[in-house]
Structure formats: structure tokens, C-alpha cells
Structure 1
């Protein structure tokens, strides 16, 4: 019964595919992640190194599973996943997209000082109250509008009926009685 699980876990021990194992790929991904973390507001070099290591581990894990795709794109995806997972854990959310978006806006907007140290795990002081205090709403309130119904008049539909009536009169198929049924313009 457990042999199937072990067989599936053996895939994690296989070497990383050659497309990811080249030093150029590693250097390019590391450079991109560093720039991206910097753009997100992570400035401390030690925090960048910790987060970079986590992202690279996730990229290598996906490579071992055969789900790598484009390494540069995967590295950005994994960086955002790490941020979202940290926010879910920090706030105790149930993966509600609106709450995660609001929390992400709070930290990335610079409204929660020192959040990068918490994200990297170097500072253990909880930030949940600070993040919740910002109270961003992820989407505006719903405001449905009433819409007046519009009548759709298809020009071709009326033209076809008129054309058929004229052809019928020309061919003598329709008499005087049927000519009054012609559609008015």
C-alpha cells in the first residue's frame, strides 16, 4: 500500500533536468528574483538572501517534479506564492482571495513597517494586527446599475420578408389577399 507513495517520492531524488542545471539559468533566475524582491520592498541583503534561497528551493522542487516550465516565470510565481503563504499564515486566513489581496496591498503599499523582516523569518514578532489595522478593501462595493431594455431591430430580417413577398407577387404566387400581409417598413 505504501509502495506507491514511495515510488512517487522517488521522483524527488532524480537529478534536476539539464535545462535548469546550467549555471547560466541559476544566475539569471537569482538576478531576476533579487530585482523582484527589491521591487517588492525588500532592501536588507540578509533578508534577500533568505527569501532567494526559499524561492530557488521551490524552483528546484518544481524542476524535479517536471513542472518547471520557464524558470524565470516560475521564480516570480514562487516569490508571490511565498508572500501569499506568509500572509495566510500570519493572518490566519482561509485562502480568501479578497482578504489576501487586501493584506498584500497593505504590506506592498508600505503601510506596515518592517514587514520584510517578518516575511523572511528573521523577525518573529507578529504583525497580524498591524496588517489588519490598515483595512484595505480588495474590491469596491458592488453597485449594480439598472439598464433599460433596448429593442433590437434586425434590418436583414425585415428585408428578407419584403424581398420574398415581392418575389412571390412577381411570380404570381401571392394574390391580392396575400399582398396585404406584406411587412410595413
Structure 2
């Protein structure tokens, strides 16, 4: 069953609704980023999308200018690279708000595997081998609600495969609800 058109309609409708709801917080976060550290408000990261196509994904900038473009856990001292409000943005997941743009333009979905950094070769290779690269990446996903940053890559890919095999509107709604709970409880975030 191909639910891609239905999923896209749900994504667009939900993204428009969420954009209206978060407009004020979006503006406040943008202003806070600008006032607390030099550099642009948004950080555009090269990410791997559906069919391993590279796309540019925006986030509110939580790291200082000049931070190496690697997964946070690969930095020797990640906290030293954070902006004054970077830790708060990450713990609250407010840094993710600009990804609504990626959902609106069709690079991402609300639910799917989190998009890998362009240089995470091990994660990209495993996902390709297991067919996960066929999915549109998501703002949240099955791996995120089952461990998020704490999961080793092979385990993360197993959750991605489980989502690939079981994807449905019902599962997406469950993942979205679990994501809200995780964000409110600030679970599974390393920085």
C-alpha cells in the first residue's frame, strides 16, 4: 500500500497549522539567537534525504560559528561549542522548529528516520542496505521515541527498519504523541 500521497497531505496540513501556532515562539527564539551570539540565526545543514539525495535542512543555530560539521557526540567537548542559549534550544527541541520549512517543501515528513548528516557514512550505508533510504526523513521517528541520541547506529537502523515495515497513519500519530511526551519530559537529549 502506497500511503505517500496521504502522508504528504497530512504533512502539509499539519505543517501549516503548526506554523501558525509556533509563529510567536519562532520569532522569539530567532531574536534570542541573534542577541546572544554572533552569526546567522539559522544553521543550514547538509543532510541525506530520500534516495540518499542531499538537501539543506535549517535549524536554529545552537552552536558557535566554526564548529566542525560532525555529529555532536563526535566533538571532544560539545558543551564548549554551544552558544549561550544553545543548550536550552537543544533540550527543549526549539532548535528544530525551522525544519517545518523542510516539511513544507517536501524534503522531510513529520515522521520518518531522522536525516543523517552527509558525512555519516556508516549510518547512510546501513540504511541503504536495509532499504530505509526509500523513506522521506522525519522531524521525529521511531528511533527518536525509543532512545534518540542515546542509541548506537545499528540499533537506530533497526528501529528505522521496523518503521519502514509497519508505517501507517496510526503509527505516525503514536510517534508524534510519544515525541511530545519526550520533549516535555526532556528525555533522550544529550546536550
| Larger relative strand fraction | 2
Fold in common (TM above 0.5): no
- Bigger Rg over Cα: 1
Question: How high is the TM-score relative to the length of structure 2?
Answer: 0.27
Instruction: Specify which structure has the higher proportion of helix.
Output: 1
